[in-house]
Chain A
Amino acid sequence: MILWFTLIQIAVASAAGLFCVIVGLMGRRPSDFTVGALALVELLLIVQVVIAIIAPFAGNPPTGDLLEFWVYLVSAVLVPIGGVTWALLERSRWSTVILGLLGFAVAIMLWRMEVIWTIQVV
């Protein structure tokens, strides 16, 4: 994990979460903006996967449990996919709210991953 990149991801995921929850509660169905926000979160997560693979070889190994880290990361990658799939199948305001909640979930997972990588000691 690279701290500044993690912080950017958390900011983007939280902003996407907040945006989607508010827009959803206002009654809007999933749109290019709300789905796009989650797609951006997903894109950053894919970059995160690449970073996580390379980092240990570049002198940035995790201090914490690698298995736990990867379970979090794989789960996080699956979350926007599940959410967007749901949103496209079920185009209601609640799907938008769900996209938002999933954005927050990803933000929390990213924070946990950062802790596992840099603070937790196995």
Chain B
Amino acid sequence: MSTTETRTRMTGIGRVLVIVYAVMALAATGRSFVQIVRKFDEAPLAYSLSAVAAVVYIVATLALVFARRRGWYTVAWAAIVFELIGVLVVGVLSLAIPELFQHDSVWSVFGRGYLFIPLVLPLFGIWWLRTHRPSAAPAVQSSQKATA
């Protein structure tokens, strides 16, 4: 079991990235669901944002899983860049105009409520995308490293 098959596989660190995205997707979706069901009228902007963030995380997770393919690779880029812009913009706004963000969303204060993972994660994602461009032929990546 020490070697991986020759079909394309994600390297180990990529899998960690996918899992962290999946956990964020779960967290954002759960939170957004509860907020919208319970009290959407209280803070429609913040809660709509939560819903958008949840969707972005779900899309990013899926896109990263299939990022070997060109189409999904592009989608992953789009989702992660959107996420980065989102966390930065919402982070700044939540500090500058707190009245708009009285109710926390995933990206409030740069993701402080989530240990700033929403801030760091897209940077990690961008790094991974830059170093794992899809190639024309399926590559047997340095899988030995991942299964050492």
Is chain B found bound to chain A in the same assembly?
yes
Q: A-side interface residues toward B, CB under 8 Å? A: 27, 29, 65, 67-68, 71-72, 75, 78-79, 82-83, 86, 90-95, 97-98, 101-102, 105, 108
Q: Which residues of the partner chain B approach A108 to less than 8 Å between Cβ atoms? A: 115
Chain B residue nearest in CB terms to A67: B34
Q: B-side interface residues toward A, CB under 8 Å? A: 1, 12-13, 15-16, 19-20, 22-23, 26-27, 30-31, 33-34, 37-38, 115, 146-148
Question: Can you pick out 30 interface pairs between chain A and chain B where the beta carbons lie within 8 Å of each other?
Answer: A65-B34, A65-B38, A67-B37, A68-B38, A71-B30, A71-B31, A71-B33, A72-B30, A75-B26, A75-B30, A79-B26, A82-B22, A83-B19, A86-B15, A86-B19, A90-B15, A91-B1, A92-B12, A92-B15, A93-B12, A93-B147, A93-B148, A94-B13, A94-B16, A94-B146, A97-B12, A98-B19, A101-B16, A101-B19, A101-B23
- For the complex of A and B, the 7 pairs showing the least CB-CB separation, nearest first, are A94-B12, A71-B30, A68-B34, A98-B19, A92-B147, A94-B15, A105-B23
Q: Which residues of the partner chain A approach B19 to less than 8 Å between Cβ atoms? A: 83, 86, 98, 101-102
Alpha-carbon distance between A72 and B82 when the two chains are bound, in angstroms: 26
Give the tally of cross-chain contacts (CB within 8 A).
55
**What does DSSP make chain A's interface, helix, strand, loop or mixed?**
helix
Alpha-carbon distance between A72 and B34 when the two chains are bound, in angstroms: 10
Chain A's nearest CB lies how many Å from the CB of B120? 14
Q: Which of B1, B16, B38, B147 contacts A67 (CB 8 A)?
A: B38
Alpha-carbon distance between A97 and B147 when the two chains are bound, in angstroms: 12
Q: Which residues of the partner chain A approach B12 to less than 8 Å between Cβ atoms? A: 92-94, 97
Alpha-carbon distance between A95 and B15 when the two chains are bound, in angstroms: 8
Q: Which residues of the partner chain B approach A27 to less than 8 Å between Cβ atoms? A: 148
Alpha-carbon distance between A105 and B24 when the two chains are bound, in angstroms: 10
